Amino acid sequence: MIVSIDRDGDIALVTVDNPPVNALGQALRQGLWDAVGALDADPTVRAVVLICAGRTFIAGADVSEFGKPPVPPHLPDLVDRLEGAAKPWTAAIHGSALGGGFEVAMGCRFRVALDSASVGLPEVTLGIVPGASGTVRTPRLAGVEAAVELVTTGRPVKAGKALSMGLVDAVVSGDLRAESLAFARKALTHPLPPPISARPVTSPDPAWWDEQRKAIAKRAKGEVAPLRALDCLRIAAEKPFAEAMAHERATFLELRASDQAAALRHIFFAERAAPKPAHLAGVKPREIRSTAVIGGGTMGAGIAAALRDAGLPVVLIERDEEAVQRGLANLRSIFDGAVKRGRLTEAQARARMDGVTAGSDYALLSGTGLVIEAVFEDLAVKRAVFARLGQACRPDAILATNTSYLDPRLIAEGLPHPDRFIGLHFFSPANVMKLLEIVPTPTTSPETLATGFALARQLGKIPVQAGICDGFIGNRILKRYRAEAETLVRDGTPIAAVDAAMRAHGFAMGPFEAQDLGGLDIAYLQREGARASGQDAPETLGDILVRAGRKGQKTGGGWYDYAPGDRTPKPSDTTAGLLAGRITAGPTLTAEGIASRLTGAMAAEGKAILEEGIALKPSDIDLVEVHGYGYPRWRGGPMFAAEG
Ligand code: 3H9
């Protein structure tokens, strides 16, 4: 039974059981609809507690129904029916009350949350606005400012904050069922508060709304839902309840059918499918309890921080005592930064560092279950590390390389038990970036591969399996993207026009600004390495700049010039002079034309990658681009965009 009714004296207990997350599909909506009718008609019931089985309270509307015509009972009607019930309902919240789930909770007269629970209205992250009174009841429940924060960011809040914002009436710990029954019983001894729809709301002045609009437009970078949500909230604050509801519903239905919502749904389901690839069904991953990182540079320290954030003990190995101290300092500065930004307390940062054992002696690794190598990107250096790991580690320890473009098969050559070897390609900063490319070699065992995926889950990362080729999935597409951007410049499109077009398309930066930030020399050295080994690597415009000493912001100039201490790119006469002989006048492209050329090139490379079996499915490529390379999430990734 999706909805069942029990009794505790004169209180009815309605339990929702619709795994995995109690999403509000048609059957659940109908079940709740009928429950209101049945309990209204039962004279022995004085109050109702709504509670959920499984891992969470109702997590929202059933997103998989969004491509289909809405079927009654509609959610806004259900929320109204709950609110109009003859007996007061109390929502007993554990896990997450999200979207439609929180709207159902607002239909109830009271909300009691377990201390570990969170509540929120994440609809904008799906390209829609709340569609069952989230924009209309929230300001009446918690005030306009709280509602604007909750709805336009889509970020859930923890129970404690929800209580202080007025979103819930009580936070309890321990037995939610017993606490909620006690709450509901006590509530009967007082006059009932008015239903939320009948509560007053005060609108801030127009200047406040204008400020919000500006701030949200800046943040949204082309995403429409947050601004449309703000419009709904303003109408909710200024107009009668029914009028605001009608506006919200119309906006919800319009956006639900939009391209942005389709793209965001695509990414939502791709993200959830990524950690559970079908070909590993039934393969048991190894349990990882102890880890080590070889190399304490930017990448190694970032990986170590990610492991510590997940609560795993870390051994950090560097080549000598001085490098050990540098590695520890790198790691400490990551946690110090987190303290400064308010993400960690001093005590938590200390505990993170306390879980790190550092040294230069590989004997420290004798008991470690997973070792990740993150040393200099040089085959000989990496091979030397793995030769030592082969001797120092347990024969069953999983050994991973974080290489971004070297062939993992060559790195692992000669390693004893090569079935436990794998590529784990993190993205910098590794403690922040969500993407993890997992690169098995022909000798990697299914258990090792499954452990890579399990590690990603443990670290809160999005795992994508990639086959072996130059650059795996992400860097291979990046190379094609940059090459296409250079082709545009060779054909006469100004560098700044290319960057501006990609920003307008929703990227945080254009391809040339991004290279100036990261440094042009890394890719240059890679090309030089390829040339030295006899491979064909035609000269790029970037090569010309690097040879002239223009490696990007760190040298005061690359594609652009930079004033000292200022990261604003300025078109450069020097660059123009250096490249003059390579540029011919071509057709003038619009910003859309530029973006479509560049995203088209990404999709074409993605197609080749799929055909070669380097990526297993198009949505994996979209995840790589969205989570590793700043592709706008609301465009769904290059493969999704190319399909539409
Ligand atoms: C909305 O409510 C609109 C309303 O305002 C108006 C309507 C008129 N639908 O994330 P997990 C599946 S919009 C369908 O790994 P966790 C998911 O695909 C909605 N399916 O679990 C996966 O399936 P599978 C607003 C859903 O424990 C499984 O559940 N709500 C939905 O790590 C487990 O998911 C949201 O945006 C859904 N709504 O995290 C909440 N949600 O096993 C979205 C999940 O087949 N959900 N699935 O791969 C979440 O944020 C997380 O699922 C949650 C649990 C935090 C709840």
Distance from Cα 266 to the centre of ligand 1, integer Å: 13
pLDDT at 243: 98
Beta-strand pair 570-571/560-561: antiparallel
| Alpha carbon distance 270, 278 (integer Å) | 13
* Residue 371, helix vs strand vs coil: strand
Give residue-wise pLDDT tens across range 439-461: 999 999 999 999 999 999 999 99
**Best probe residue, ligand 1, of 16, 18, 21 (max atoms within 8 Å of C-beta):** 21
What is the residue range of 12's domain? 3-257
Enumerate the active-site residues.
Answer: 103, 123
Any ligand 1 atom below 6 A from CB of 284: no
pLDDT at 319: 94
pLDDT at 454: 97
| Alpha carbon distance 394, 410 (integer Å) | 21
Q: Take atom 5 of ligand 1 and give the residue whose Cα is closest.
A: 130
Give residue-wise pLDDT tens across range 387-444: 999 999 999 999 999 998 899 999 999 999 999 999 999 999 999 999 999 999 999 9
Asked, for residue 551, whether it belongs to a domain, the answer is yes
Q: Take atom 43 of ligand 1 and give the residue whose Cα is closest.
A: 59
Q: Take atom 16 of ligand 1 and give the residue whose Cα is closest.
A: 21
Q: Which atom of ligand 1 is nearest to the CA of 99?
A: 2
CB-based burial label for 281 (10 Å; 0-12, 13-18, 19+): exposed
Any ligand 1 atom below 6 A from CB of 72: no
Place of tokens 């339990």: 15
Is 187 found in the same domain as 283?
A: no
Listed residue (219, 370, 374) closest to 286, CA to CA? 370
Q: Take atom 49 of ligand 1 and give the residue whose Cα is closest.
A: 59
Any ligand 1 atom below 6 A from CB of 277: no
Q: Tell me the C-alpha to C-alpha distance, in Å, between residue 580 and each of 69, 253, 573, 575, 626.
A: 57, 52, 10, 8, 34
Which of 465, 496, 527 is where one domain is finished? Answer: 465
Q: Take atom 50 of ligand 1 and give the residue whose Cα is closest.
A: 59
Is 96 found in the same domain as 200?
A: yes
Any ligand 1 atom below 6 A from CB of 123: yes
| Alpha carbon distance 165, 118 (integer Å) | 12
Asked, for residue 624, whether it belongs to a domain, the answer is no
pLDDT band at 55 (very low <50, low <70, confident <90, very high): very high
Distance from Cα 422 to the centre of ligand 1, integer Å: 31
Is 214 found in the same domain as 65?
A: yes
Any ligand 1 atom below 6 A from CB of 179: no
Q: Which atom of ligand 1 is nearest to the CA of 103?
A: 5
Give residue-wise pLDDT tens across range 551-573: 999 999 999 999 988 999 999 99
Is 534 found in the same domain as 404?
A: no
| Alpha carbon distance 12, 37 (integer Å) | 13
Place of tokens 């050559």: 413
Is 148 found in the same domain as 33?
A: yes
Is 495 found in the same domain as 367?
A: no
Count other Cβ atoms within 10 Å, centred on residue 210. Answer: 10
Give residue-wise pLDDT tens across range 593-620: 999 999 999 999 999 999 999 999 999 9
CB-based burial label for 414 (10 Å; 0-12, 13-18, 19+): exposed
Give residue-wise pLDDT tens across range 342-358: 999 999 999 999 999 99
Give mean pLDDT, residues 360-388.
Answer: 95
Is 521 found in the same domain as 423?
A: no
pLDDT band at 66 (very low <50, low <70, confident <90, very high): confident
Tokens of 380: 């000989």
Q: Which atom of ligand 1 is nearest to the CA of 60?
A: 2
For the CA atoms of 258, 262, 265, 270, the dihedral, rounded to the nearest 10 degrees, stands at: -160
Tell whether pTM > 0.85: yes
Q: Tell me the C-alpha to C-alpha distance, in Å, between residue 212 and each of 144, 216, 391.
A: 12, 6, 60
Any ligand 1 atom below 6 A from CB of 100: yes
Give the Cα-Cα-Cα angle 314, 317, 322 (nearest 5 degrees): 125
222 touches 632 (CB < 8 A): yes
Is 166 found in the same domain as 132?
A: yes
Distance from Cα 291 to the centre of ligand 1, integer Å: 32
Give just the sign of the alpha carbon dihedral 462, 467, 472, 474.
negative
- Residue 193 has what DSSP assignment? P
Q: Tell me the C-alpha to C-alpha distance, in Å, between residue 236 and each of 66, 139, 143, 197, 388.
A: 24, 8, 11, 11, 66
Any ligand 1 atom below 6 A from CB of 56: yes
Asked, for residue 288, whether it belongs to a domain, the answer is yes
Any ligand 1 atom below 6 A from CB of 463: no
Q: Take atom 39 of ligand 1 and give the residue whose Cα is closest.
A: 21
Q: Is the pLDDT of residue 630 over 80?
A: yes
Give mean pLDDT, residues 73-99.
Answer: 98
| Alpha carbon distance 316, 375 (integer Å) | 12
DSSP assignments along 490-548, one per residue: HTT--HHHHHHHHHHHT-SS-HHHHHHHH-SHHHHHHHHHHHHTT------HHHHHHHT
Mean pLDDT taken over the chain: 96
Distance from Cα 272 to the centre of ligand 1, integer Å: 9
pLDDT at 526: 85
pLDDT at 586: 78
Distance from Cα 4 to the centre of ligand 1, integer Å: 22
Structurally, the chain folds into a number of domains equal to 3
CATH number of the domain that 379 lies in?
A: 3.40.50.720
Any ligand 1 atom below 6 A from CB of 75: yes
Q: Is the pLDDT of residue 644 over 80?
A: no
Which of 413, 444, 465 is where one domain is finished? Answer: 465
* Residue 110, helix vs strand vs coil: strand
| Alpha carbon distance 331, 325 (integer Å) | 10
Which of 227, 257, 287 is where one domain is finished? Answer: 257
Distance from Cα 432 to the centre of ligand 1, integer Å: 23
Give residue-wise pLDDT tens across range 309-344: 999 999 999 999 999 999 999 999 999 999 999 999
| Alpha carbon distance 404, 46 (integer Å) | 64
638 touches 603 (CB < 8 A): yes
Q: Tell me the C-alpha to C-alpha distance, in Å, between residue 229 and each of 1, 252, 289, 414.
A: 35, 9, 44, 59
Asked, for residue 626, whether it belongs to a domain, the answer is no
Give just the sign of the alpha carbon dihedral 456, 457, 458, 461.
positive
Asked, for residue 542, whether it belongs to a domain, the answer is yes
Cis peptide before 76 (omega within 30 of 0): no
Tokens of 589: 């492209």
| Alpha carbon distance 203, 207 (integer Å) | 11
| Alpha carbon distance 103, 79 (integer Å) | 7
| Alpha carbon distance 459, 436 (integer Å) | 10
**Best probe residue, ligand 1, of 26, 29, 63, 256 (max atoms within 8 Å of C-beta):** 63
Tokens of 41: 């008609």
476 touches 470 (CB < 8 A): yes
List % helix, strand, coil for the chain (3-state, nearest 5): 50, 15, 35
Is 456 found in the same domain as 481?
A: no
Is 340 found in the same domain as 479?
A: no
Asked, for residue 597, whether it belongs to a domain, the answer is yes
pLDDT band at 69 (very low <50, low <70, confident <90, very high): confident
Is 529 found in the same domain as 448?
A: no
Beta bridge partners of 424: 438
Q: Take atom 40 of ligand 1 and give the residue whose Cα is closest.
A: 59
pLDDT at 34: 98
Q: Is the pLDDT of residue 497 over 80?
A: yes
197 touches 140 (CB < 8 A): yes
Any ligand 1 atom below 6 A from CB of 260: no
Q: Is the pLDDT of residue 5 over 80?
A: yes
Any ligand 1 atom below 6 A from CB of 385: no
Q: Is the pLDDT of residue 263 over 80?
A: yes
CATH number of the domain that 479 lies in?
A: 1.10.1040.50
Listed residue (169, 164, 72, 60) closest to 104, CA to CA? 60
490 touches 554 (CB < 8 A): no
Q: Give 67's contacts (C-beta < 8 A, 6+ positions apart).
A: 262, 265
pLDDT at 238: 97
Q: Tell me the C-alpha to C-alpha distance, in Å, between residue 14 and each of 35, 143, 180, 359.
A: 8, 29, 12, 57
Cis peptide before 43 (omega within 30 of 0): no
The kind and range of the H/E element at 349 are helix 346-354
CATH number of the domain that 189 lies in?
A: 3.90.226.10
Q: Is the pLDDT of residue 530 over 90?
A: no
Asked, for residue 629, whether it belongs to a domain, the answer is no
pLDDT at 98: 98
Q: Take atom 17 of ligand 1 and give the residue whose Cα is closest.
A: 272
Any ligand 1 atom below 6 A from CB of 55: yes
Asked, for residue 634, whether it belongs to a domain, the answer is no
pLDDT at 221: 85
Cis peptide before 19 (omega within 30 of 0): no
Is 284 found in the same domain as 195?
A: no
CB-based burial label for 547 (10 Å; 0-12, 13-18, 19+): exposed
Q: Which atom of ligand 1 is nearest to the CA of 134?
A: 5
Place of tokens 């794998």: 422
pLDDT at 285: 97
- Residue 465 has what DSSP assignment? E
pLDDT at 542: 96
